A and B are shown apart, each in its own frame.
Chain A
């Protein structure tokens, strides 16, 4: 079974149309040829009959002329002489017509020439007889006539005309035969053309039908695929959602359960510290009262080693607590139900600026809103956290030699709100552009407090709101964060 693709179908369709036209043209040509043949054979028939007719007439004129002269010899009546002359006069033109009619055929031309000679002799002989008769020499005329009859010239003429007739009929038969075979040829051409046209029509119908069937099955397959795809997407989405929920729960439980032992570590460290304090005091007392009892390494252990160890345990557990809290906060943020509401962004950003009044005055930095920010329908807490994180970062990481200029701008790009928070601060090494969004990862000079949570949180929030966050920055050149958010938050559109 040949494969019926679009290209092949088009090729076949065009081929069928062209072939159909060729067939129609040949049918038309065959029709015209048949018509012409029929007309020509009509002409042939007509021509043959005219020749035969003319020959018959020549016979008649000669007969009549002879009869008239014979009658005149029996009873010289001027009327008979007149009849003779009339009939003789008709012979010449008749022979001329025959010459023209049979001019296309060698045999007939020769025959006409013979006929013409014989007729001339006959006419001359008859005219001589009549000449004698009209001048009163009837006996001489009769003698001439008898002589004439003896010569049987009329028979010769008859033989010639009969021969010509036969020849003409033979020619006629030949031509008709030729015409008939031509007609038969064009008829068979017509028949073949007709058959081919029928075959073509059947082929074309079959082709179109197959193509249609193919199209229909392709459409059905496509439909099935589409439906399947929707199902697959829904399935995947719910899988992802489940996995995400699982992860959130896991994060929550793990971070939560990690805190329990930490409480113990911190608590007993404090107990240890208190006990160490008492031990150190005892060593001091001993040293004052009985110095010989205290060895150097015992003093070092109580006064230096233990406090040092305890302080490391303490700072480490404190750090661990901060990290766990950060994870908890992120997971809690991920579990929180988002409640979309209309947010006037200008006012929202201004209120963030107000909360940063103190560090702004201290560093001489400014925050300006460039133009009007497009409003959002989204979750207030999430958006506030997003913007305050980004703006606080800009305030935090200024260049020491240059007061911060922080610009917030935004534009509505057909359903997406694009915000930019631009600063002229210290910038971020391009190698760290992806890293800064990871949890607990920071970049650049570590002179500011922080756990490396802010931007991870920002990215998680942006994703959750169905948006993206991007950074453009170079060291010392300032940083621009671009936030792309849906103008209207919808549950389905959000990234998981």
Chain B
């Protein structure tokens, strides 16, 4: 258990309010993993692919991805992640306001693992995040074993 590598949560979300709410609910769900937040796509991609502590060079991660970013579409980031040999197994959770069916299908086609629509109704929002916490605790398991 000593060489267990905890999953690093990478949140790419341009709205700080949303980021705060997501983080709050993740913490409330009892998830204590490190959470790194990026406000735009460029720095997020840089971290994902280049940074020494980034998931490509260092350990497992989970990506929470908003589709509407100021500098690029989240779809681009999803495509990059799922097209990369090292990163393509990284779970990507799309967390966005878009509930367009075409958009959702496209994300799943590109390999998104979960698609969550940010509901305006806060209770369902919190609920969704809590379930995400559950999901996180589940995906932690395989990471424990190979160590």
| Chain A positions near chain B (C-beta within 8 angstroms) | 256-257, 259-264, 266-271, 317-318, 321, 332
Contacts and interface: CB of A to CB of B under 8 A. Distances in A.
Nearest to B97: A259
B27 to A, nearest CB: 13
Given A317-B120, A318-B120, A332-B100, A264 B18 contact: yes
B15 A271 contact: no
Interface stretch (B1-9, B35-43, B52-60, B121-129): B121-129
Contacts of B119: 263
B17 A267 contact: yes
Contact of B97 (A263, A269, A270, A318): A263
B21 interface: yes
B68 A266 contact: no
Contacts of A269: 122
Nearest to A264: B17
A385 to B, nearest CB: 16
Looking at B18, B21, B122, the one whose CB has the most chain A CB atoms below 10 A away is B122
B122 A260 contact: no
19 contacts: A256-B97, A259-B97, A259-B118, A260-B15, A260-B97, A263-B18, A263-B120, A263-B125, A264-B18, A266-B120, A266-B122, A266-B125, A267-B122, A267-B125, A268-B17, A268-B21, A270-B123, A271-B21, A271-B24
Contacts of A332: 100
3 smallest beta-carbon distances between A and B, as pairs:
A264-B17, A270-B122, A267-B21
Interface string B112-144: 000000111111011000000000000000000
B98 interface: yes
Interface string B14-31: 010110010010000000
Nearest to B99: A328
A269 B126 CA distance: 13
B52 to A, nearest CB: 33
Nearest to A322: B120
A89 B68 CA distance: 150
Interface of B: 15, 17-18, 21, 24, 68, 97-98, 100, 118-123, 125-126
Contacts of B123: 270
A494 B43 CA distance: 47
Contacts of A261: 15, 17
Nearest to B25: A267
B125 to A, nearest CB: 6
Contacts of A267: 17-18, 21, 122, 125
A316 to B, nearest CB: 12
A251 to B, nearest CB: 13
A264 B17 CA distance: 6
A317 B122 CA distance: 11
A263 B118 contact: yes
B25 to A, nearest CB: 9
Contacts of A257: 68
A314 B67 CA distance: 26
A256 B98 contact: yes
Contacts of A259: 97, 118, 120
Contacts of B121: 266, 318, 321
B100 A260 contact: no
Contacts of A262: 120
Nearest to B24: A271
A404 B66 CA distance: 49
Looking at B24, B120, B121, B123, the one whose CB has the most chain A CB atoms below 10 A away is B120
A262 B119 CA distance: 9
A250 to B, nearest CB: 16
Contacts of B118: 259, 263
Nearest to A268: B17
B40 to A, nearest CB: 15
B16 to A, nearest CB: 9
Given A257-B68, A259-B120, 4 more contacts: A256-B98, A264-B21, A266-B125, A267-B21
Nearest to A263: B118
Contacts of A317: 120
A257 to B, nearest CB: 8
A260 B21 contact: no
Contacts of A256: 68, 97-98
A266 B98 CA distance: 17
Contacts of A270: 122-123, 126
B46 to A, nearest CB: 24
A261 B118 CA distance: 11
A29 to B, nearest CB: 94
Contacts of B125: 263, 266-267
B37 to A, nearest CB: 15
A257 B68 CA distance: 9
A260 B15 CA distance: 8
A318 B123 CA distance: 13
